[in-house]
């Protein structure tokens, strides 16, 4: 329970994690747009047919590595154990 200026608020760990994930997800979308791989958020099959297969693979790999680089150590540890 936290108190701010006389107003008591309580946030469960789950609600804080959901909020944190929501913020992280928005931030990741911006980062993926910035590195020009936001199309990777779609399934590879849904990418435009005008993109070569090799380029699709490159987009997916770059997006994957960008996401991994922006995960916290705690999340990475929980995924590898």
Q: Which whole-number Å values give the CA distances from 6 to 3, 12, 76, in the listed order?
A: 6, 19, 38
- 6: Cβ contacts below 8 Å, ≥ 6 apart: none
> Where exactly are the structural domains of the chain?
2-80
For the stretch 33-80, pLDDT in tens is 999 999 888 877 888 889 899 999 999 999 999 999 988 888 888 877
Give pLDDT tens digits for 60-71.
Answer: 999 999 999 988
Q: Output the pTM of the full model.
A: 0.67
């Amino acid at each position: 329970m936290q108190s701010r200026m006389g107003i008591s608020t309580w946030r469960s760990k789950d609600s804080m994690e959901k909020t944190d994930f929501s913020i992280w997800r928005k931030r990741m979308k911006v980062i993926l747009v910035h590195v020009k791989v936001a199309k990777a958020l779609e399934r590879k099959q849904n990418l435009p047919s005008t993109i070569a297969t090799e380029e699709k693979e490159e987009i997916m790999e770059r997006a994957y590595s960008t996401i991994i680089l922006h995960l916290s150590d705690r999340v990475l540890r929980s995924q590898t154990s």
